[in-house]
Structure 1
Amino acid sequence: MADYKFEGWMGIDENADKGNMVWQEFQPKAWEETDIDIKITHSGICGSDLHTLRSGWGPTPYPCCVGHEIVGIAVRVGSKVTKDIKVGDRVGVGAQSDSCLGRKGSCENCAAKLENYCPHFVGTYGMHHFNGDKSYGGHALYNRSPSHFVFKIPDAVPSAYAAPMLCAGITTYSPLKHYGAGPGKTVGIIGLGGLGHFGVLWAKALGADRVVAISRKADKRATALDLGADEYISTDADADWAQKHAGTIDIIISTISSSKMPIGDYLSLLKLDGTLVQVGNPDDGVFQVPALPLILRRVTMGGSAIGSPAEIVEMLQLAADKKVTPLVEERPMKDANQAMVDMDNGKARYRYVLVNEQHL
């Protein structure tokens, strides 16, 4: 038996996102020999945490421990783990902790190594594993996850950087890679927040000819350029921005989580056969998409869900090779409630990472 307890910040009801999480013990999924236990050192705060804590995307199975950008030290490795992971290794877990891979009747997506599109997707928190046990996230002392969704962190990537890469990072990396962001392409990133600033970093690391950061406020211009953007559009401050930049971008990644964003204007920025990929999921209503911008340039609007395990490994190696440096602010795990409130109030610049200081 393990000599450690699983304790963490638990959302008890729909007011949990307002600084009302409670620290308490929880029972992780029953141990299987394909599992890995992680002593958590770093846990990034994602917008998904807030949506889930307040049941913004549907009823949350309270109590719920959120956090799916987890980095720490492997303290227990099952005898059937086939990965090159041993006790003492630095590892991480992202937003997915299980799929039907390897189970009787596995789906086509898992067979194609697209486990993130498995119809039996199990999220790292707030869902149920195949044995019926609830999944619990990383704003805690320990995490238990199936080894297929646990990743070794390259030595060159600091833990505070690696944690947010496992959700915010992969959520933007995956569509950029899939839609061919790289040499010869102009890439637009809408929203310069936790996800969006990663989008700028990846687009540059992948070799895009030109990267355009797009956000409402003018005060993020300097940061966008420092991150590597070649141009910045402030939709509040730049007059006639949609007309001036119409038909100039090949691929747009939208990280906005508001149903009120001007989708028509964003679609008008695309070149012929361009693509807008939506990765932000609003809980304030549904999008209203005008047909004309889609028709005029034969553009495509789609979506993308996190990334596959293979893509996560690829992304982490790119981060190591290109020395990708996200903008993170470390906060003590004990201050998680205040960090959540600050995140919700838009104070993060651009990702909060909770730190278990006693585990360092």
Structure 2
Amino acid sequence: MSNTEYKFEGWAGFGPESIEGNLKFIEYEPKQFAEDDIDIKILYCGICASDVSTLSEGWGELKDMWPQVVGHEIVGEVVRVGSSPKNGIKKGDIVGVGAQCDSCLQCHYCNKDMENYCSNGMTGTYNGKFSRTSKGSKSYGGYANYWRGPSHFAIPIPKELDPAEAAPLLCGGGTVFSPLVQYGAGKEAKNVGIIGLGGLGHFGVSLATALGAEVTVISHSARKQKDAEDLGAKHFLITGDDEAKAFKGHERSLDLIICTSNAPDMNMSAYLSLLRPGGNFILVGVPETGKIADIPPMTLIFGNVHVGGSLIASPQTLKDMLQVVADQKVKSWIQKWPMSKVNEAVPSMIAGNARYRYVLVNEENGGNL
């Protein structure tokens, strides 16, 4: 089908029930190969909560986008290179691909290393359609043997890094690293709070620490306190069922809060009380309801605090992050699963068993379990 000696095959969902262990292994047709494209033999692919929210249609109906091969934390070996590759990529390189695989590459934001905010719309690594080349072709993700797409969005993996550990950094890590850097973690923002210690939150703690910030983890219970401390957190706030009561005595102690929680019923006034004047509360978790709790305007005005959001990382930000990870020897806390057992791994992650990221290993392609 793909006009190569290898087949593009992967684990596809055909409906919301696919997250219950019903992914099916299929062959599919990738986009038409363009001169700035590469093909990657996939070795590892992280399982991201976005994969589940997409397959379950929690973020909206997929309609004509079934079947869906998800996975946007891809690491593998380059096996084919077009005549105009970017980033100096060549055959045999180990590279990664995160949650974005294309943009217009011409607008103001693309030219400012902000391709994730492309004015003409970004193409997701899965559940997207290409428009710059192979117009209308679907994008397919990393629960697969091979991946094809623009080399501009392939990130060389530093040789010092374990490629399996690098995989979940390409979405989960980049998603928190981007706002940490944007809002000055370790510089202007000396004290950083991380809400939630899960797949995103554990990266938030380790990366904020690597950037020089003093980190406070904010969690519902004490269950993960030791993990937080092992990751580098200096403080641990337990909210229980009454955030306002829990935060008494901690008002105006933080410069920046990264919220990885997707809870729709947070006491926002209580959380914002933790910020110093000029502080920022940045959402990276996305409630499937599409809403956050109400914020009284006076809370913003009298506190001089700001609420914002941050999308995935740009290619340049991913490169910067991987260098910090390599230099500071930041470790990803991962558990490996054979890709052949994806129908066990996905339900296990949904059940909350991951500590803190699952990575699928393509043993047939040479991935190390």
Q: TM-score range by the shorter chain?
A: over 0.9
TM-score by length of 2: 0.94
**Of the candidates 328, 333, 336, which is equivalent to residue 330 of structure 1?**
336
Matched, 1:199 2:204: yes
Aligned to 2:109, what secondary structure does the other structure show? Answer: helix
Query: Structure 2 CA distance, aligned partners of 1:57 and 1:304?
Result: 17
* Corresponding residue number in structure 2 for 1:118: 118
Show structure 1 runs of 4+ deviating over 6 A.
Answer: none
Q: Do 1:258 and 1:284's aligned partners in 2 also have CA atoms closer than 8 Å? A: no
| Equivalence map 1:176-187=2 (5 Å) | 176-183=180-187, 185-187=190-192
CA-CA distance at 1:55 after TM superposition: 1.0
Matched, 1:11 2:13: yes
* Corresponding residue number in structure 1 for 2:161: 157
C-alpha offsets along residues 13-45 of structure 1, whole Å, 9 cap, x if unaligned? 121112111111111111111101000010000
**Percent pairwise identity:** 49
Query: Structure 2 CA distance, aligned partners of 1:341 and 1:214?
Result: 26
CA-CA distance at 1:246 after TM superposition: 1.4
Unaligned runs of 5+ in 1: none
- CA-based RMSD of the aligned residues comes to 1.4
Query: Structure 1 CA distance, aligned partners of 2:86 and 2:17?
Result: 41
Query: Structure 2 CA distance, aligned partners of 1:301 and 1:170?
Result: 20
CA-CA distance at 1:257 after TM superposition: 1.5
Amino acid at match of 1:67: G
Query: Structure 1 CA distance, aligned partners of 2:180 and 2:254?
Result: 13
**Of the candidates 29, 32, 53, which is equivalent to residue 30 of structure 1?**
32
C-alpha offsets along residues 51-98 of structure 1, whole Å, 9 cap, x if unaligned? 000111112211110000000100101111132111111111000000
Amino acid at match of 2:267: P
Query: Structure 1 CA distance, aligned partners of 2:111 and 2:87?
Result: 18
Query: Structure 1 CA distance, aligned partners of 2:304 and 2:219?
Result: 25
Q: Do 2:166 and 2:332's aligned partners in 1 also have CA atoms closer than 8 Å? A: no
Amino acid at match of 1:113: D
| Equivalence map 1:241-256=2 (5 Å) | 241-256=246-261
* Corresponding residue number in structure 2 for 1:71: 75
Q: Do 1:189 and 1:200's aligned partners in 2 also have CA atoms closer than 8 Å? A: yes
Matched, 1:319 2:325: yes
Query: Structure 1 CA distance, aligned partners of 2:87 and 2:331?
Result: 27
C-alpha offsets along residues 101-133 of structure 1, whole Å, 9 cap, x if unaligned? 0xxxx3221122210001310000001001110
Unaligned runs of 5+ in 2: none
**Of the candidates 278, 297, 300, which is equivalent to residue 303 of structure 2?**
297
Aligned to 1:20, what secondary structure does the other structure show? Answer: coil
Query: Structure 1 CA distance, aligned partners of 2:179 and 2:21?
Result: 33
TM-score by length of 1: 0.96
Query: Structure 2 CA distance, aligned partners of 1:25 and 1:262?
Result: 47
Amino acid at match of 1:124: T
* Corresponding residue number in structure 1 for 2:101: 97
Q: Do 1:189 and 1:196's aligned partners in 2 also have CA atoms closer than 8 Å? A: yes
* Corresponding residue number in structure 2 for 1:129: 130
Query: Structure 1 CA distance, aligned partners of 2:347 and 2:333?
Result: 19
Query: Structure 1 CA distance, aligned partners of 2:221 and 2:22?
Result: 30
Matched, 1:310 2:327: no
